[in-house]
Amino acid sequence: MSEWKARRFWKAASVRPADKGFGIALDDRPLRTPGKLPLLLPTAALAAAVAAEWDAQADVIDPNTMPLTRAANSAIEKVTPQFADVAGMLADYGGTDLLSYRADQPAELARRQAEGWDPLVDWAATDLRAPLRITHGVIPIAQDPEALTRLHGHVAALDAFGLTALHDLVTLPGSLVLGLAVIRGRIDADTAFRLSRIDEDFQAEQWGQDDEARLAAESRRAAMMDAERLWRLSRTG
């Protein structure tokens, strides 16, 4: 038996202004989330981009080609009702932030980490008022509770769509500072991805990289780029 797949049934997707944002209509049929909630976007720009994903579908609908639609569904169905829990989970990354854990050896790896990460640690201390403590090796280091409280405040101040965008920008690189740096415009997602892979790239230079690892890395990079786009579009009037 062949697997059932959803097929295109509409001629055109369009943006419809709504009381609390912007909706999408497939012909005259309002688009809803998988849980049957209204799919309402906070900006016209994001709504237009989501509509474009639906218009780009061929005969068979492929959710893998609709990252903004998937993210919008998550923001409405998952993040909104669990906002405090999601914010707390992401803020907790500050306590074990990738940028705090440095290599002792080899010297070249330690140099690359310092060169790439120190400017962002300095940025967190000044712009976010959240100085991170640095350690070498894998032994956990306790961060300043006041710094962690400030980081939590920065995360909790976002809306549901901002928190959804921040999710992949934090969890994929393993760094709250990198994620916040992207949404604050300090760096872009591609740079954040590259900085998060200093150790992996160094090891690949020494021992080589297999195709599976390369494809997995590219998938993470693409997801971070999609998250940055979600953030930008959800802020654009």
Domain boundaries, the chain: 1-65, 82-235
Tell me the pLDDT tens digit for each residue of 143-175: 999 999 999 999 999 999 999 999 999 999 999
> What was the pLDDT predicted at 217?
92
Specify whether the CB–CB gap between 30 and 23 falls below 8 A. yes
Tell me the pLDDT tens digit for each residue of 49-80: 999 999 998 888 888 999 999 999 999 999 99
> What was the pLDDT predicted at 119?
98
Residue 21 region by backbone torsions, left for phi larger than 0, else alpha for psi between -120 and 50, else beta? left
State yes or no: pLDDT of 120 exceeds 70: yes
d(CA 89, CA 44): 30
State yes or no: pLDDT of 27 exceeds 50: yes
Mean pLDDT in residue range 101-115: 95
- State in Å, rounded, how far the first CA of the chain is from the last one: 47
Confidence of residue 19 (pLDDT cuts 50, 70, 90): confident
Tell me the pLDDT tens digit for each residue of 180-202: 999 999 999 999 999 999 999 99
> What was the pLDDT predicted at 208?
77
State yes or no: pLDDT of 34 exceeds 50: yes
State yes or no: pLDDT of 178 exceeds 60: yes
**167, burial (CB in 10 Å: exposed 0-12, middle 13-18, buried 19+):** buried
> What was the pLDDT predicted at 211?
80
State yes or no: pLDDT of 213 exceeds 90: no
Specify whether the CB–CB gap between 56 and 48 falls below 8 A. no
> What was the pLDDT predicted at 58?
86
- Average pLDDT of every residue of the chain: 94
Mean pLDDT in residue range 13-32: 93
| 1-65 belongs to CATH 3.40.50.300 | no
> What was the pLDDT predicted at 4?
45
State yes or no: pLDDT of 127 exceeds 60: yes
38: cis peptide before it, omega within 30°? no
d(CA 175, CA 195): 10
One CATH from 1.10.3580.10, 1.10.10.10, 1.10.1740.10, 3.40.50.300 for 82-235: 1.10.3580.10
State yes or no: pLDDT of 106 exceeds 80: yes
State yes or no: pLDDT of 237 exceeds 90: no
Confidence of residue 209 (pLDDT cuts 50, 70, 90): confident
Mind spelling out the 3-state secondary structure of the chain? CCCCCCECCCCCEEEEEECCEEEEEECCEECECCCCCECEECCHHHHHHHHHHHHCCCCECCHHHCHHHHHHHHHHHHHHHHHHHHHHHHHHHHHHCHHHEECCCCHHHHHHHHHHHHHHHHHHHHCCCCCCCCEECCCCCCCCHHHHHHHHHHHHCCCHHHHHHHHHHHHCCCCHHHHHHHHCCCCCHHHHHHHHCHHHHHHHHHHCCCHHHHHHHHHHHHHHHHHHHHHHHHHCC
Confidence of residue 5 (pLDDT cuts 50, 70, 90): low
